[in-house]
Chain A
Amino acid sequence: MKMFLSGNEAVARGAWEAGVNVVSAYPGTPSTEILENLGKYKEIYAELATNEKVGLEVAAGASFAGARALTCMKHVGLNVAADPLFSMAYIGARGGLVVVSADDPGMHSSQNEQDNRYYAKMAKIPCLEPSDSQECLEMAKLAFDLSEKFDTPVLLRLTTRISHSKGVVETGERTEHQPTGYVKDVAKNITIPAHARKMHVKVEERLKKLAEYGEHFSYNKVEKGEKKLGIITSGISYQYAKDVFPQASFLKLSLTFPLPVKMISEFINSVDEIYVIEENDTFLEEQIKADGYKISGSCAYEKEITGKAKIPIAGELDPTVLAKVFGLQKESSYKPLQLPARPPVLCPGCPHRGVFYALNKLKLTVTGDIGCYTLGMMEPLNAMDTVICMGGSVTAAMGLEKALGPEMAQKTVAVIGDSTFFHSGITGLVDMVYNNSQGTVIILDNRITAMTGHQENPGTGKTLQGQEAPIIELEPLVRSCGVKHVQMIDPLNLKQTEKAIKEAVNNPGASVIIARSPCILIEKRYRPALKVDEDKCVGCRICLKLGCPAISFDKDKKKSKIDPMLCIGCEVCASLCPKQAMGHK
């Protein structure tokens, strides 16, 4: 059947068709829809993992049982899961083990750009790169076969543009895979040094076999065009290059580690000029250049290879950028105007807003984390000083304190979401208590994983597949970590919020505030919109400091106004207005 699917939807469909049995993953843009779509299939056990390391380890356990298993994550998630990845590369796969990495060139919603093909190279496992939704489906299937055939985990590497573009896909049916069962095999499954030394030799042999396989792999293919220009490319870059250089000859690589050395050198020798077109890093280019020396001892290619000397390393590649660097783009006659930027903002009525308003007002240094609440750094709240990575807020606050003394702890607050706290904040909190910190952590508990599109988490009482689950309560959890000063507050109540923060930063010993109020988009407890009473409003602009998208300032009237289409009636602004000008009439 033909369907119109995003790359993520197609990967999920392909894995399902391949008979995948177990899926475990933590949400992360741009990978999230893979997990969400797999969760819809009843034949599969699919779960939200607490973090990416957990996700990969659960999948590894399923592979031990001879089941087909998959985990998926955004690129930075693989940093978290790197530990088990490298061990599984040695152990191999009994049941097919597929690790999907969705990288984010252009950083549409990420803290860095990283080319995770290098993980395949470093872990010495095969890397598959689809270039559209159809290939996403086919390669998701193929990845399981390769994994079992070569006894290795397989890295299926997507990028945002592949994950979130849709294309026409020919789908098939599911072939059931029966888990073959667990077999005790300590020499294979236990990575003590004595075993691992033998495993390493096996891994190197496996790589040679995979490289040989790549020479005849049908998805590594030459498309003959003019002899003048040959292009070596992979993934989404192939599609861009096809549009910009329709007449050229192509070597389209889908198994990008290990590379088919003979195929590449034959291709290079069959054309006059050679471009390597890839996004971000020089992954292909470096290997191709190095392989040239491997073939003949001195460079075997007697022509220049044009790659990153022209194509930018930073930022997302697209057909315009590609055309520009090769001088093929016409200048637009339209001169762009200077426009106000339109960055994303916290939603109207977002429960995080009150906390950030208070933190800004109290002039505290705020170490931040990854989630919707990262938007607390934006104007006019300006309430965030650092963001490192998932879980990094708690420990960064700790570092500030240990460097500058307990007085710094009185001026510093770490903020972290509920899902992020379960992901990797809790270990930081344990460190704070253990190492005698005076610091304050605010858990912004909006009862959901909001940033990635509202997934459940261990605090919400529901699993990915909709079953009831025990709720892991934050308050007793935090107390049992040894935190004595724990306060539960409602962040929509500004007075209570401010008071709690003041108490916590002055408290000797580690303190935790749990600011609990559900994300406005799940709760939908919309109340009637407020209005500004123009007779009472004196134009002081205090309400504008909240940064609620529903509130703006009418320059002519010198009064604030509320957009009734956007306001959800949370009343936080009303509690702030010194003249009580905001209300229901």
Chain B
Amino acid sequence: MKTVNILICGVGGQGVLLAGDIIAETAIASGFDAKKSEVHGMAQRGGSVVSHVRYGDKINSPLIREGEADVILSFEEMETARYLHFLKPDGSLIINQQQVIPMSVATGKAEYPVDIVEKIKQHIKDTVLCPGMALAEKAGSAKAVNTVLLGALARKLELAPDKWQSVISRRVPAKTVELNKKAFESGYGQK
């Protein structure tokens, strides 16, 4: 099988790193080789965060080359634009409809780009807008945005939903398993 490249981006604290783990572990549970890369440290304190996940028969580099991501899963609208050059010309984009204001914007030094999602959509045919927060709240907790987005991603990939569900159940707190199952399904339902 040819290698599948998934880039996940967002803001420190949103759960980008855990999402990357779950994707890679689902791929491994489905019999593939997988690698994942991310950088810790400064990135955890509200900075821009990115994680690369690759799976297939045999993976060398843990980093995706620019222009070779099959899917970008973005947790934040503006961060999508920061990494868009990684996407393949015919790649898919999943954007969580949420804006996190950077300090320069909060203090009035810079502007949050207007109509950013509209501009991106003009470029990328296959764009899914996912109201992650609203769906997560419906499933039972705003904290499950992560899982909603994984559901939306799962729809684009050929990994079996039950594999996803079992990895998610293993990785989330025991009390929240049912809630996360629901969150995953509601994300999976997004087109």
Contact = CB atoms under 8 A, between A and B. Distances in A.
Given A108-B43, A342-B11, A345-B103, A166 B35 contact: yes
B191 interface: no
B60 A549 contact: no
Contact of A4 (B34, B59, B105): B34
Interface of B: 11-12, 21, 24-25, 28, 33-48, 59-67, 78-79, 81-82, 84-85, 87, 89, 101-113, 116, 119, 123, 142
A236 to B, nearest CB: 8
A544 interface: yes
B45 A333 contact: no
B151 to A, nearest CB: 21
B34 A167 contact: yes
Contacts of A333: 89, 123
A109 B59 CA distance: 27
15 contacts: A29-B41, A108-B41, A240-B63, A243-B60, A320-B63, A320-B65, A332-B85, A334-B85, A342-B11, A342-B82, A372-B45, A378-B103, A451-B41, A453-B44, A552-B101
Interface in A168-211: 168
Contacts of A341: 48, 102, 104
Nearest to B142: A565
A336 B60 contact: no
A318 interface: yes
Interface string A536-556: 000001001001010111010
B43 A344 contact: yes
Nearest to A548: B106
A313 interface: no
A315 interface: no
Given A240-B61, A549-B103, A553-B106, A29 B40 contact: yes
A161 B103 contact: no
Contacts of A160: 39
A341 B112 CA distance: 10
A330 B68 CA distance: 10
Given A109-B40, A333-B89, A552-B105, 8 more contacts: A4-B34, A29-B40, A109-B41, A319-B65, A330-B67, A332-B67, A337-B116, A565-B142
B59 to A, nearest CB: 8
B41 A345 contact: no
A170 to B, nearest CB: 12
Given A347-B46, A372-B45, A336 B39 contact: no
Interface string A243-267: 1100000000000000000000000
B131 to A, nearest CB: 16
A146 interface: no
Contacts of A470: none
A339 B89 CA distance: 21
B108 A553 contact: yes
Given A342-B48, A378-B103, A379-B109, A318 B63 contact: yes
A544 B28 contact: no
A236 B60 CA distance: 9
Contacts of A240: 60-61, 63
A168 B119 contact: no
A347 B110 contact: no
A323 interface: yes
Contacts of A451: 41
A329 B64 CA distance: 13
B40 A453 contact: yes
Contact of A340 (B24, B85, B104): B104
Contacts of A318: 61, 63, 65
**Which of B63, B87, B110 has most chain A Cβ within 10 Å?**
B63
A243 B65 contact: yes
Given A164-B40, A332-B66, A344-B42, A380 B107 contact: yes
Contacts of B36: 4, 165-167
B104 to A, nearest CB: 5
B65 A342 contact: no
Contacts of B21: 4, 166
Interface in A328-385: 329-330, 332-334, 336-337, 339-347, 372, 375, 378-380
A242 B63 CA distance: 12
Interface string A297-337: 00000000000000000000011100100000110111011
A132 B35 CA distance: 9
Contacts of B38: 164-165
Nearest to B111: A340
A2 B28 CA distance: 10
A514 B51 CA distance: 38
A545 to B, nearest CB: 8
A547 B107 contact: yes
B45 A346 contact: yes
A342 B62 contact: no
Given A108-B42, A323-B65, A161 B85 contact: no
A30 interface: yes
A444 to B, nearest CB: 15
A114 interface: no
A379 B84 CA distance: 27
A332 B65 CA distance: 11
A167 B105 contact: no
Contacts of B110: 340
Contacts of B61: 239-240, 242-243, 318-319
A541 B39 contact: no
